Structure 1
């Protein structure tokens, strides 16, 4: 399971359990929603483009031993819509986590802190670019952590350029903001690995492994071969039920088919039973209806 997927699941689990609360500046939600459509489109388009290029490259390979790889890629083509849907769902899940957090609205005090930080060229303004939004994150975190003496606060970011030490261990905060982190009640973490480290530091190893086990739900898409096999299975079951009913009517003298047609039906039934030893007649009309409907749901 991808690392980001694991952390999203485990974070959602501990939030649902009430052990962790996200501090979410409102500007983070605004920025996420503003860029969401563009990023979703770029992600799905990028995957599709790479896939098409790979298919095109494989078409030039004609050796017989290339065929399994070519067939596997063709089978994956049927999963492309699901890959796009999973990307969309990831964005929805993340947005739900953000909205469920403690939304922080900037006050005049935080805005003033941003101005003072900018005038002093302190991080994140040390890179000589417009870092107002990043600076506001720092000020909001400082206020939230300073107003409470309970619990442990963690600043988790993937933006090492603006927040981490410039020449050294990027897991450490920039000297301009390091006073916010005492390593106990307030801690600095970098990236997805940092998020995992924050959770490991908070929970004992056994408890954290249990959280991962609970949240590690994997939804693996079915391959084209699996879909076709399921379709064939239900087709065989529905066909067999109808065929047996048809031959039964002939045996009861209720059908005008010829003996040759009857023999063809019986031989076909025998072939299907040989291919599917577990084949049996449905116990009820409801069971038969479920099998018939399943063909359309695959």
Structure 2
């Protein structure tokens, strides 16, 4: 029996970005070829992939080059000069081939677009658009956040329409996405659908997944054998740019939460706004100049625009502790002392 799978745009872009997922693309191609799976391909996914593919392709190339560079740096730790020279020659050959070979990202794009072309593209019907708009108006997942997620709702409704159109009660459907912000539970296990979506995946014929590798294994357990070592995936260290990006986001989140506490104190009069602060006056900690307060409000607005209100809380005590712990750990990795939480 052919299993019908909707692979969300986020998954296709992950496959394009990360060279380690090349075997996953091969497995999808093989399973489609033998009709073990068939792809549900809403036109919205084709549009989104086409719009983002060049940007993500550049990130893939950067990652490959950076990996070779890190490996070259690591070779300097080899004590034996002969072994070090031999290894450096091999790395130089790989580096040279990378420079001369056509961008591997272009090849991956071509393979993905072939798969998209082979699958019947599902146009967004009026019914799909109306149901997606209704989700947006009612603020239910995937439209439960402040951003406009109607495109995600169209993808979801296209999946549901394809499932409803299939008269076989034994047919199996899978919705796979890595867009956990819009589709997964807001708290707890991100591998489970948002509570608004749980009824859609309660029946045995419809499954929700955030791991394309798990989906492939369930279809054909041997498909990814060459990709697995000891049933674990090889975890490559994060690039410095990824660490800095994550540190910046956490720093903004922690600052914004503290800013809202300051707003509470200003509103209650606990912190008093003044034109200027006399440093001889006590306690000066309960005073703030109006210029400083205006600058803080401007910074808060920039943070909201940059990060998005949906990523700025509010958080419970556990989530707040996790944010601070992540920020402290990242800063330690980047060279700060432990517990450095200044924002």
Same fold by TM (over 0.5)?
Answer: yes
Structure 2 match to 1:171: 191
Match of 1:132 among 130, 138, 150: 150
Structure 1 match to 2:54: 37
Structure 1 match to 2:104: 86
SS at match of 2:45: helix
Shift of 1:157: 0.8
The unaligned stretches of length 5 or more in structure 2 are 1-18, 229-343
SS at match of 2:208: strand
Change (3 A) 1:51 1:11: closer
Structure with the higher fraction of residues in helix conformation: 1
Alignment of 1:115 with 2:137, yes or no, is no
Match of 1:5 among 22, 34, 37: 22
Structural RMSD (CA): 3.1
Match of 1:158 among 178, 182, 186: 178
CA distance in 2, matches of 1:48, 1:89: 17
Change (3 A) 1:189 1:21: same
CA distance in 2, matches of 1:49, 1:4: 17
The aligned runs of 1:9-20 (5 Å cut-off) are 9-20=26-37
Rg larger in 1 or in 2? 1
CA distance in 2, matches of 1:62, 1:49: 20
Structure 1 match to 2:239: none
The aligned runs of 1:1-298 (5 Å cut-off) are 4-48=21-65, 51=68, 57=73, 65=81, 66-81=84-99, 85-150=103-168, 151-196=171-216, 199-200=217-218, 202=219, 208-209=221-222
SS at match of 1:74: helix
Shift of 1:214: 11
Equivalent pair of 2:53/2:109 in contact (CA under 8 Å): yes
Equivalent pair of 2:141/2:182 in contact (CA under 8 Å): yes
Structure 2 match to 1:230: none
Equivalent pair of 1:44/1:87 in contact (CA under 8 Å): yes
Shift of 1:155: 0.4
SS at match of 2:144: helix
CA distance in 2, matches of 1:5, 1:193: 12
The Cα offsets for residues 196-227 of structure 1, whole Å up to 9 and x where unpaired, read as: 2xx51x45xxxx42x557999xxxxxxxxxxx
Structure 1 match to 2:281: none
The number of residue pairs the alignment matches comes to 206
CA distance in 1, matches of 2:100, 2:112: 18
CA distance in 1, matches of 2:88, 2:226: 37
Higher RCO, Cα 8 Å, sep 6+: 1
The Cα offsets for residues 131-155 of structure 1, whole Å up to 9 and x where unpaired, read as: 1111111111111111223211110
Shift of 1:63: 6.8
CA distance in 2, matches of 1:76, 1:164: 40
CA distance in 2, matches of 1:120, 1:97: 35
Structure 1 match to 2:15: none
Change (3 A) 1:82 1:167: farther
Equivalent pair of 1:7/1:195 in contact (CA under 8 Å): no
Equivalent pair of 2:75/2:87 in contact (CA under 8 Å): no
Change (3 A) 1:62 1:153: closer
